[in-house]
Amino acid sequence: MSSAPRPQSKTATAAPLPKRRRTARFFAANFVLAVIGAEGGMAVALGIFAQPFSDWTDPGLLITAISRVAAMAGTYFALITLVLAARIPWLEREIGQDRLIKWHRMLAPYSLYLIAAHVGLVSLGYGILADLNTWQQFWALVLDTPWMMPALAGFWFMLIVGFTSYKRARSRMTYETWWLIHVYSYLGIALSFMHQIKSGSMFVNNTGLTQWWIALYVAVFGSILLFRWIVPFVRSRRHDLRVEKVVRETRNTISVVVRGRDLGKLGAQGGQFFGWRFLDGKHWWESHPYSISASPRNDRLRVTVKDLGDASSSLAKLRPGTKVLIEGPYGTFTADKAEGEYAVLIAGGVGITPIRALLEEIPKHVEIDLIWRASTENDLPLRREIEALAEWRGARIHWMVGSRHQFPMSPKKIVQAVPHIALADVFLCGPDGMVNEARKSLHRVGVRPDQLHDEAFAY
């Protein structure tokens, strides 16, 4: 299935897009990185200089001193990973959720490596001093040191979260299972707190360092409580969000329309997403990230969700009047990124949902080509709406419906559909694998990183 012959496009003679200037978002992102680096350096420096010089002169003491530095750095990284996933509005708005999650995934393994190194090195170092093997010393520390048992439980929780975060393990779990396991990371970090300030030699008799460490924990967990629970609850109550209706779009896709009051005050834009909790008595405690699938109105929002056999399947059974809690809006996948006069929208399957909202909100003077990739006709939700919007604004739709072998996201296929894509702002959304493949191809055909705006449906 392919598009009709492409009419002559004014982009054929258009000049390339000018290189974008560095914006406030760019400087904000680098400022946050600088602060994270400076605080991390401070944690390591305090771990080094808060220990007596004698601890660095004996082999056994040296190993234990290094283990404490590893613990400081590892715990600091763990706290930062929580901050990056805390949905703090300023960070989300200025940096973007995709970049924050990228940093989160980058730091999380190093946190676990450093904390594991601490466990091994402290057992080795004290074992040398006490003339015990490492395993014996490990259990001696666990059984005899105050607050060590909760810290060990916390370490095991962090190991479980770490192992289940690898891509192969995630691919075998439902979102609900993955999300629940990740909650244990909060518990794991919290359980280690008392062990650190009561047993860590850097904190004993060092009031200033202890207060700084306590302040870090309070700030991190306070931010999580405030922005993941208190603000969503207050905001959802204020706007009185309730399910209005559920509409089946295709055999495996549904839309949920949520009604509320003064929703314009949320500041949501097409292409953004919310964390949704539907208070139906089954999944109230789970927050699911769903993109809004139409330009938001002052009295209603809509999401369109593919039935993946997990909690998404239960949405079809939601009753009108069900209360809704939301977190957000989040994301920078928005129409204001279209700075030129030509845009190409690329959607994979249900990735059309934020693209549909963008099609409605991108200024009408902007010329648009839409590439829609799907395996079957049944994987084209909102098709009538998309076709009507495309006709209304004169956008061209290029259908790629069939197997991946027939319609790969290759440079050749993309250029065949849209020859002048290197001159466009490109908006790309779909499953993680499709987005990664398309991103590489787009770079090869000349689309600059500052022209490409993507959103992958992954967790």
140 membership: H or E segment, kind and range: helix 134-144
Residue 432 tokens read as: 């993680």
First to last CA, the chain: 31
Q: What is the pLDDT of residue 32?
A: 65
Tally helices (H) and strands (E) across the chain: 16, 11
Q: Residue 385 to residues 249, 352, 359, 418: CA-CA distances in angstroms?
A: 11, 11, 10, 22
Q: Which residue matches tokens 């993955």?
A: 178
Q: Report the 10 Å Cβ neighbour count for 107.
A: 19
Q: What is the pLDDT of residue 312?
A: 65
Q: What is the pTM of this model?
A: 0.77
Residue 362 tokens read as: 């991108």
C-alpha torsion angle, residues 163, 111, 431, 371 (rounded to 10): -160
d(CA 342, CA 355): 15
Q: What is the pLDDT of residue 107?
A: 87
Query: In 3-state terms, what secondary structure has residue 345?
Result: strand
pLDDT, mean of each 10-residue run, the chain (459 residues) = 39 48 57 69 73 76 88 89 83 74 86 93 91 90 88 89 78 74 84 86 81 89 90 92 92 92 92 89 78 92 80 81 91 85 91 91 92 88 92 92 88 92 92 88 92 78
Helices 148-164, 134-144: inter-axial angle, 10-degree rounding: 120
Pairing of strands 367-374, 342-348: parallel
Q: Is the dihedral of CA 430, 436, 441, 445 positive or negative?
A: positive
Query: In 3-state terms, what secondary structure has residue 308?
Result: coil
**Taking the domain 335-457, which CATH number applies?**
3.40.50.80
For 237-330, CATH number out of 1.10.3720.10, 3.30.470.30, 2.40.30.10, 3.40.1190.20 equals 2.40.30.10
Q: What is the pLDDT of residue 13?
A: 40
Give the residue extent of every domain in the chain.
24-204, 237-330, 335-457
d(CA 333, CA 427): 8
Phi–psi pair at 334, nearest 5 degrees: -130, 165
Cis peptide before 109 (omega within 30 of 0): no
